[in-house]
């Protein structure tokens, strides 16, 4: 059986995009399913756009998602270096091999000459392919051009044929190489083009399967031709459908977060995020959607990945994230929520009460950043009555609150159960004596103590706040 080796090769010109994360995930899943290796390579040859901060973001985001690579810039491996910028001395050697074999040639055309060729093709309503005017230059002609200070690029000579390959996702794909034309593999400044560098890197790193977005399909025939010219084994290709926004346009920031780190900042759990991303173009065989990465890897089947585009449904992600929040160990969840409560002084709250607060507020939330608002009334002496004002204006409110003040003085605020029972008695009293519905009585109590008309379990809320704060707020509400 062949050694399965897959890779993810992001460019550090921005934070890790959710689409790149999906590509990384599918490569990772395929490696885990087949017992293969998952390689990380950083394609930082665009030195102007590449940034060390973005490289670190790629590392951090992939690790946060649980996608640990077997070989890469920080962990090493026998096929390094894994930064493309550290491999510049490799590419000219292979370009020269292609020139020596007759598969490539020097091109001295200036940008102006090439632009004129393109304009001529457009004028004649033809698809542009390079004219090959430099292919048969003599050594004397080349020397004369060099003497003028013109540095040549190197072009790959494309033989005319029908190129066919079997895509792991999309099935059989055919290309007419007549439409490609001789393409540049080394620029005149000595740097490799993307299609050349990626082939040399993948070939030297013994990558067996290349799973990537379908926007790379147009690159595939060029890359296959280079593999064949070098006498190298052509890897198997699989092209994933695009991820589109709910309006079926390209997913962008106007739709919401697009970088993994942005989702994390908004309070999405990485376990939920990676689970959701796995379902963009793939379905579990048992129909159960909520699964760990390990469970997904055991079930993963590359041939069952949809070749169609996937819709990034934020509503579904929110639902799934909410499910993870509900099920997470409360101690672990509390640790994760602390950064989202940074505006509050948590030093005044015991760990026990902090966990209890998260436990009773997590039910309706879908992202952790919602806790900043949902937990606001647990902090400080006073409370904002904007939301509960209409409830407190009801004529029976003062009757309810004055009676509550009388009774609370004798309640044990160290016991949730005690407060729960006392509130039940309180509701029953007002139903019997004043014919008030229990929920109407509790709306007034809640509005007075939290400023809200809905929220967490009232008995537990009161024990977290304590007798002094509850008494202060009821008195404050009476003044309102």
What are the beta bridge partners of residue 171? 167
Q: Stretch 328-347: mean pLDDT, rounded? A: 96
The answer to whether residue 179 is domain-embedded is yes
Are 402 and 302 in a shared domain?
Answer: no
- Over residues 186-209, the mean pLDDT reads 97
Measured on CA atoms in the order 168, 169, 171, 174, is the torsion positive or negative?
negative
Is residue 48 helix, strand or coil? coil
Look at the chain and report how many structural domains it folds into: 4
The pLDDT tens digits for 279-335 are: 999 999 999 999 999 999 999 999 999 999 999 999 999 999 999 999 999 999 999
> Which range, of 12-26, 133-147, 175-189, 241-255, averages the lowest pLDDT?
241-255
| Spatial contact of 291 and 275, defined as CB atoms under 8 Å apart | yes
> Is there a single domain that holds both residue 26 and residue 127?
no
Largest CA-CA distance found in the chain, in angstroms, rounded: 111
Same domain membership, residue 297 and residue 278: yes
State residue 104 phi and psi, 5-degree precision.
-150, 160
Residues 208, 130 share a domain: yes
Closest CA to 458 of 429, 405, 419, 418: 419
The pTM of the full predicted model, rounded to 2 decimals, is 0.92
Q: Are residues 181 and 267 in the same domain?
A: no
SS (H, E, C) 233-251: CCCEEEEECCEECCCCCEC
Q: Is 451 a domain residue?
A: yes
Residue-number span of the structural domain to which 62 is assigned:
1-73+241-319
Q: 217 and 148, same structural domain? A: yes
Query: What stretch of H or E contains 311?
Result: strand 310-311
Taking the C-alpha atoms of residue 14 and residue 417, their distance in angstroms, rounded to an integer, is 52
What element of type H or E holds 97?
A: helix 91-101
Q: Give the active site residues.
A: 253
Tell whether 171 and 270 lie within a shared domain. Answer: no
Of 240, 265, 288, the position where a domain reaches its end is 240
Per the domain annotation, does 381 fall within a domain?
A: no
| 376 within domain boundaries | no
Token digits of residue 313: 């449904």
Claim to verify: residue 28 and residue 161 sit in the same structural domain: no
- The per-residue pLDDT for range 238-281, each reduced to its tens digit, is 999 999 999 999 888 788 789 999 999 999 999 999 999 999 99
Does 4 score more than 80 pLDDT?
Answer: yes
In terms of domains, do 250 and 227 share one? no
In a domain, 201, yes or no: yes
């Amino acid at each position: 059986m062949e050694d399965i080796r897959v890779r993810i090769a992001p460019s550090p010109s921005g934070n890790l995009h959710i689409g790149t994360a999906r590509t990384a995930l599918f490569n990772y899943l395929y490696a885990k399913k087949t017992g293969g290796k998952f390689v990380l390579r950083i394609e930082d040859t665009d030195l102007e756009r590449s940034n060390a901060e973005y490289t670190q973001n790629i590392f951090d985001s992939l690790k946060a998602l649980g996608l640990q690579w077997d070989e890469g810039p920080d962990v090493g491996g026998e096929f390094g270096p894994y930064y493309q910028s550290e491999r510049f001395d490799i590419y000219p050697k292979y370009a020269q091999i292609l020139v020596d074999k007759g598969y490539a040639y020097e091109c001295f055309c200036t940008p102006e000459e090439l632009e004129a060729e393109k304009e001529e093709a457009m004028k004649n309503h033809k698809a542009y392919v390079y004219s090959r005017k430099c292919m048969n230059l003599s050594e004397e002609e080349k020397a004369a051009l060099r003497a003028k200070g013109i540095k040549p690029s190197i072009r790959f000579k494309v033989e005319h044929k029908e190129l066919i390959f079997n895509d792991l996702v999309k099935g059989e794909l055919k290309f007419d190489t007549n439409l490609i034309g001789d393409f540049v593999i080394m620029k005149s400044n000595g740097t490799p083009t993307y299609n050349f560098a990626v082939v040399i890197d993948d070939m030297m790193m013994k990558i067996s399967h290349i799973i990537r977005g379908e926007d790379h399909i147009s690159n595939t025939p060029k890359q296959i031709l280079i593999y064949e010219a070098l006498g190298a084994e052509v890897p198997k290709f699989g092209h994933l459908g695009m991820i589109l926004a709910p309006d079926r346009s390209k997913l962008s920031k106007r739709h919401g977060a697009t970088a993994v780190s942005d989702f994390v900042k908004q309070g999405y759990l990485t376990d939920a995020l990676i689970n959701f991303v796995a379902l963009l173009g793939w379905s579990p065989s048992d129909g159960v959607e909520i699964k760990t990465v390990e469970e997904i890897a055991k079930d993963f089947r590359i041939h069952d990945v949809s070749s169609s585009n996937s819709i990034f449904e934020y509503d579904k992600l929110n639902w799934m994230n909410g499910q993870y929040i509900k099920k997470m160990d409360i101690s672990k969840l509390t640790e994760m929520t602390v950064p989202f409560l940074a505006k509050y002084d948590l030093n005044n709250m015991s760990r026990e009460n902090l966990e209890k607060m998260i436990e009773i507020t997590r039910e309706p939330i879908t992202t952790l950043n919602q806790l900043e608002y949902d937990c606001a009334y647990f902090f400080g002496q006073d409370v904002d009555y904007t939301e509960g004002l209409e409830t407190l204006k009801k004529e029976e409110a003062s009757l309810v609150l004055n009676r509550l003040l009388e009774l609370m003085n004798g309640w044990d605020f160290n016991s949730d159960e005690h407060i729960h029972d006392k509130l039940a008695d309180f509701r029953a009293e007002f139903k019997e004596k004043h014919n008030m519905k229990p929920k109407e009585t509790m709306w007034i109590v809640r509005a007075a103590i939290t400023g809200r008309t809905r929220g967490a379990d009232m008995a537990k809320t009161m024990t977290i706040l304590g007798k002094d704060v509850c008494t202060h707020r009821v008195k404050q509400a009476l003044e309102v």
